């Protein structure tokens, strides 16, 4: 195993968390649909450029391509809409923590859909994640209002979709011969098409709003978050087994929590910190055991 594999995976986790946290200020100037479309169009262009330069833009067949497209629709489009809506209804640290339970849901999906064995660690981790989610729905002592339970539900739902998309369709696409760079390109394009398909249903409730002041946060989320995070992760996977790097993916939750406190000046309560600890413990337990 290359000595650079772990640092690259940590960099991927930090980049993904940066993109997720940058979404909060971006959504102050951009509506959710415009933000997601702008983000994934940029990622698709960068992925195409990267695949062309590396000479890895290949399509071995329709089945793995369809699996990559399914992952993009579920992750970038459906999961993205759930996440940005959650960000607008609850705090960034709560939304990022709950959505970053994705590694746990990914393992659960692999048990249910890929036939991998269910171990005791998964059962214990499930309990820890549920307890953590409950703690994260505490009253907001800063303003005396209860936190929005629907926002919490949306963030957790985004994590479920992300976890499934990262494991079942993505794994099947890679096993079918799709290169990582091509997978990222198809993933991003499918996400854009999925958002365009949903736009007629959502645009009436989400009026278009794209202020130039929020452009830098959209760029940060797309380039420094989604694209850079995926590239670092894919390079890391070429240097070490996925089983070695999987626990590092759970660090996204920790980075996102720290970013929301340091850069967004959010002040989580003690109860929220306890919830974070339970959720992180669940994610790390399941990836270490399984």
- Number of domain units in the chain: 1
CA atoms within 13 A on the CB side of 229: 20
**Enclosing domain of residue 52:** 5-289
pTM of the entire structure? 0.83
Q: Mean pLDDT, to the nearest integer, of 270-286?
A: 78
- Alpha helices of 1-79 — where are they, by DSSP H? 5-26, 32-54, 62-72
Which residues, at least 6 apart from 110, have a Cβ–Cβ distance to it below 8 Å?
Answer: 116, 167, 168, 171
| C-beta of residue 148 within 8 angstroms of C-beta of residue 287 | no
Dist CA 257 CA 67 (whole Å): 31
- Of 2-6, 45-49, 169-173, 194-198, least confident by mean pLDDT is 2-6
What burial letters (b/e) apply to 183-208, b meaning 16+ CB within 10 Å? bbbbbbbbbbbbbeebeeeeeeebee
Going by C-alpha positions, the residue among 165, 17, 160 that lies closest to residue 92 is 17
Q: What is the mean pLDDT of residues 122-130?
A: 75
> What pLDDT, on the 0 to 100 scale, is given for residue 144?
44
The arithmetic mean of pLDDT across residues 256-284, rounded, is 79
Q: Give me the sign of the Cα torsion angle 182, 248, 103, 288.
A: positive
Distance (Å, whole) CA 104 – CA 164: 10
How high is the mean pLDDT of the chain?
Answer: 82
Residues 6+ apart with CB under 8 A from 143: none
Burial of 285 (0-12, 13-18, 19+ CB in 10 A): buried
Q: Which residues pair with 139 in a beta bridge?
A: 146
- pLDDT tens digits for 141-178? 444 445 567 888 999 999 999 889 888 888 888 788 88
Q: How confident is the model at residue 282 (pLDDT cuts 50, 70, 90)?
A: confident
In this prediction, residues 121-142 reach a mean pLDDT of 68
Q: Rounded to the nearest 5 degrees, what angle is found at the Cα of 91, between the Cα atoms of 27 and 38?
A: 20
Better pLDDT: 263 or 228: 228
Q: Give the torsion through C-alpha atoms of 93, 121, 230, 98, to 10 deg.
A: -20
On the question of pLDDT at 257 being above 80, the answer is no
The pLDDT tens digits of the residues spanning 179-215 come to: 888 989 999 999 999 999 998 888 877 778 888 888 9
Nearest to 121 by CA among 104, 97, 102, 99: 104
132: exposed, middle or buried (C-beta count within 10 Å: 0-12, 13-18, 19+)?
buried
Of the ranges 27-31, 138-142, 157-161, 224-228, which one carries the lowest mean pLDDT score?
Answer: 138-142
- The per-residue pLDDT for 4 is 79
pLDDT of residue 193: 97
- The H or E element spanning position 94 is helix 92-99
What is the pLDDT, as a whole number, of residue 111?
81
């Amino acid at each position: 195993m290359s000595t650079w594999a772990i640092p690259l995976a940590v960099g991927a986790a930090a980049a993904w968390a940066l993109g997720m946290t940058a979404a909060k200020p971006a959504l102050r100037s951009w509506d959710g649909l415009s933000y997601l479309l702008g983000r994934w169009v940029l990622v698709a262009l960068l992925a195409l450029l990267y695949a062309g330069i590396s000479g890895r833009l290949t399509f071995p067949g329709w089945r793995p391509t369809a699996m990559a497209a399914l992952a993009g629709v579920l992750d970038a489009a459906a999961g993205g809409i759930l996440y940005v809506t959650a960000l607008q209804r609850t705090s960034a640290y709560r939304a990022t923590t709950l959505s970053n339970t994705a590694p746990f849901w990914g393992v659960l999906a692999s048990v249910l859909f890929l036939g991998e064995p269910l171990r005791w660690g998964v059962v214990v981790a499930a309990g820890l994640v549920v307890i953590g989610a409950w703690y994260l729905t505490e009253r907001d002592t800063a303003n005396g209002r209860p936190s929005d339970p629907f926002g919490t539900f949306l963030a957790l739902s985004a994590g479920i979709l992300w976890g499934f998309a990262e494991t079942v369709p993505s794994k099947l696409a890679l096993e079918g011969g799709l290169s990582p760079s091509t997978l990222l390109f198809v993933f991003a394009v499918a996400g854009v098409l999925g958002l365009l398909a949903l736009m007629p249903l959502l645009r009436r409730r989400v009026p278009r709003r794209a202020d130039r002041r929020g452009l830098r946060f959209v760029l940060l989320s797309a380039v420094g978050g989604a694209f850079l995070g995926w590239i670092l992760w894919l390079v890391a996977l070429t240097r070490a087994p996925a089983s070695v790097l999987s626990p590092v993916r759970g660090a996204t939750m920790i980075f996102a929590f720290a970013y929301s406190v340091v850069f967004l000046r959010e002040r989580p309560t003690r109860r929220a910190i306890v919830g974070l600890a339970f959720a992180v413990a669940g994610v790390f337990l399941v990836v270490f055991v399984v």
